[in-house]
């Protein structure tokens, strides 16, 4: 297969000192490292967004395709939310996390109190919570939802720097759930939680002759 018809760039390891920000797959540059801003608080993020005269991309863990995050014009900004992370509040059946919290921290914190998300987790737990929601990340299995489906309310910094909160009763909530970063910067999300359940995973090799029927049976089991 030639590069002309491959349809995607190959992984391209690069020197750490090349001055560029690369996506997670290391096959696309996102912009100059000097274009990255990492606000230490929500209020600092508000000021950054309100003062920006260019476009803003929220890079999360940089796992989205490079074209979604790539800066185009001078003055565009890559926002790093890694300092806005951690558990903010918890109730008997919900937990509120900062948007920059990595998924593995979400799972570790919930597991520590015997709770878990009803959604099946994705494969890569280094994603940020905001990124996982905004891109529709999901695991697998029948009756399983995406992580965004477990959001009860979402808090955003809008383009003018103001704060907006959306819950499941708001008519725009479905758009905010999977906004791809286009509606604002997601700073907090309240997630539905349930008692943690321990599953046992069995792995074995089988014939693919009846795979179509087997997949349905395995998921039911």
What predicted TM-score, i.e. pTM, was given to this entire model? Answer: 0.83
**Averaged pLDDT, groups of 10, the chain, 221 residues long:** 54 68 84 93 97 91 80 90 97 97 95 90 83 86 81 97 97 94 95 88 85 84 74
- Per DSSP, the three-state class of 190 is strand
Measured from the Cβ of residue 32, the count of other Cβ atoms closer than 10 Å reads 14
The confidence score (pLDDT) of residue 6 equals 56
Closest CA to 130 of 184, 173, 201, 171: 184
Q: Which two tokens stand for residue 177?
A: 């759930």
Q: What is the pLDDT of residue 171?
A: 96
36-37 and 77-79: which strand pairing? parallel
Tokens of 94: 């919900």
How much is the pLDDT for 4?
Answer: 52
Query: What's the confidence (pLDDT) of residue 3?
Result: 47
pLDDT of res. 37 = 95
CA–CA distances in Å: residue 107 to residues 111, 112, 146: 6, 8, 15
- Quick one: pLDDT at residue 5? 53
Residue 186: Cβ within 10 Å count: 27
Tokens, residue 44: 């600092």
Look at residue 1 in the predicted model and tell me its pLDDT. 45
Taking the CA atoms of 184, 193, 137 and 83 in sequence, report the sign of the dihedral they define: positive
In the structure encoding, which two tokens stand for residue 207, read together?
């014939």
pLDDT at position 107: 93
């Amino acid at each position: 297969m030639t590069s002309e018809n491959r349809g995607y760039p190959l992984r391209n390891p690069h020197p750490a000192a090349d001055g560029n920000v690369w996506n997670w797959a290391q096959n696309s540059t996102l912009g100059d490292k000097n274009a990255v801003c990492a606000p230490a608080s929500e209020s600092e993020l508000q000021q950054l967004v309100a003062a920006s005269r260019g476009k803003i991309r929220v890079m999360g863990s940089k796992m989205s395709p490079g074209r979604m995050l790539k800066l185009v014009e001078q003055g565009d900004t890559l926002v790093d939310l890694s300092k806005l992370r951690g558990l903010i509040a918890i109730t008997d059946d919900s937990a509120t996390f900062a948007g920059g919290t990595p998924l593995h921290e979400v799972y570790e914190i919930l597991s520590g109190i015997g709770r878990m998300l009803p959604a099946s987790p994705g494969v890569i737990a280094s994603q940020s919570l905001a990124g996982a929601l905004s891109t529709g990340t999901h695991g697998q299995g029948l009756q399983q939802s995406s992580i965004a489906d477990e959001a009860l309310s979402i808090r955003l910094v809008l383009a003018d720097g103001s704060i907006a909160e959306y819950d499941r009763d708001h008519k725009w909530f479905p758009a905010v759930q999977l906004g791809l970063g286009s509606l604002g910067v997601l700073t907090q999300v309240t997630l539905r939680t349930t008692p943690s359940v321990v599953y046992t995973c069995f792995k074995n090799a089988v014939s693919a002759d009846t795979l179509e029927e087997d997949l349905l049976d395995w998921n039911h089991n």
